[in-house]
Amino acid sequence: MLNAKEIRKDFPILERKVHGKPLIYFDNAATSQTPQVVIDCIVDYYQNYNANIHRGVHTLSQEATDKYEEARITIQKHFNAAKPYEIILTSGTTHGINMIASGFASLIQKDDEIIVSALEHHSNIVPWQMLCEKTGAVLKVIPMTESGQLEMSVFHDLLNSKTKLVFCNHVSNALGIINPIEEIIEAAHKVGAAVLIDGAQATPHIKPDVQELDVDFYVASAHKLCGPTGVGMLYGKEEWLQKLPPYQGGGEMIETVTFEKTTYAGLPHKFEAGTPNICGGIAFGAALDYMNSVGFENIHAYEAELLAYANEKLNAIDDLKIYGDSLEKTSVISFNIKGIHPYDIGAILDKLGIAVRTGHHCAQPIMDFYKIPGTVRASFSFYNTKEEIDLFIEALQKAKMMLL
């Protein structure tokens, strides 16, 4: 069983104070905190073997290359990709999504159809709109219900022979709802469509098996997995990655260059132009090792306890409404208190040392559906505690008294 109080010792930032109060960090859906072992990994890189990777004959370059490629294998094994070169290291989830959108511009034709869900982050809406504008394809949307779930019967009706791509988040960043991606992938494949799953919000809580899912593309960010910002991964089935053109031109992604013709390198380098975030990639591997040492089954069980506890406490507050109140959720709660703007609640909670996220969470269509300007979002991780939730509820009651 997970011991959160012991685990908290791994995270030095949790010792600090904000406005004279002990930090209570409930903004994990935006960015998780970083354990000392990952911080040490970053320091070790810059202190001992900072060098550019691949093709270097000197010792530092070879050491950095080995560590970077070892991290790729760690990521491959974590997500159970068939081959290391099916893992493309990116700057984050948004980068991975844009790589696929750019690549499909050469494969999509006028009047082809692309399907996204109503629960998407802006990063999984805007690139497809841009692709449709460029190609003449048509963007269709799976609607959502009042409880924040997708209307799957409508999705099945939308699928047809013109459907070329389906995109859906594994977990809604705004609501924490877990989407039925297995059903989505299977149904899309029956009409010959490719599927990309945005795993940014799922991967801190769920350990996806990309081969078992039979997904074509899966993207994630390290900074939501106890890793650094500015690095992430794109998984793609080998056959799809071979079909797609490079996203950028530059160093590393070439085999030969003359002024007459350039030939491209094989996978994964075809999609990794330029000097990468070497330290970030290595630290991403270290972060996954750390989380696996805690155990995703332990994380899931403990966070489910926190979610149930917080739900019970919040539902006892008069005039408080939770959005996306579903059984199939990760440890995220989005809510409002009647008559109070979410920003005002967030500002008062900050003065009491409590970090939450307020606003539309880059998911404006969801807020438009509910006809609200935004929500307060509290998101819990395996290093949070029920005692912190109790202090959060007290602070929320205080904010309510001050603002009404």
Q: Give the separation between CA 232 and CA 144, rounded to whole angstroms.
A: 28
Count of CB atoms within 10 A of residue 29's CB? 28
CB 137 within 8 A of CB 376: no
Q: Give the separation between CA 207 and CA 143, rounded to whole angstroms.
A: 27
- In sequence order, what DSSP letters do the residues of 208-225 get, joined into one string? --HHHHT-SEEEEEGGGT
Q: Give the separation between CA 291 and CA 306, rounded to whole angstroms.
A: 18
* C-alpha distances out from residue 34 to 50, 61, 350, Å: 21, 26, 20
Return the residue matching tokens 């700057």.
Answer: 91
In this structure, what are the phi and psi dihedrals at residue 138, rounded to the nearest 5 degrees? -115, 130
Instruction: Identify whether 362 is a catalytic site residue.
Output: yes
Q: Give the separation between CA 397 and CA 305, rounded to whole angstroms.
A: 22
Pair of tokens at residue 212 = 């078992």
**Active-site hit among 41, 132, 168, 362:** 362
- Give 48's DSSP letter: H
The helix or strand, by DSSP H or E, that contains position 61, with its residue range, turns out to be: helix 59-79
- The closest of 178, 120, 173 to 328, measured between CA atoms, is 178
- In sequence order, what DSSP letters do the residues of 365-404 get, joined into one string? HHHHHHT-S-EEEEE--TT--HHHHHHHHHHHHHHHHHH-
Which residues contact residue 80 at a Cβ distance below 8 angstroms, ignoring those fewer than 6 apart? 209, 210, 211, 212
Residues in the chain, overall count: 404
The helix or strand, by DSSP H or E, that contains position 293, with its residue range, turns out to be: helix 278-294
CB 399 within 8 A of CB 349: yes
Q: Give the separation between CA 140 and CA 8, rounded to whole angstroms.
A: 44
- Which residues are known catalytic residues? 362
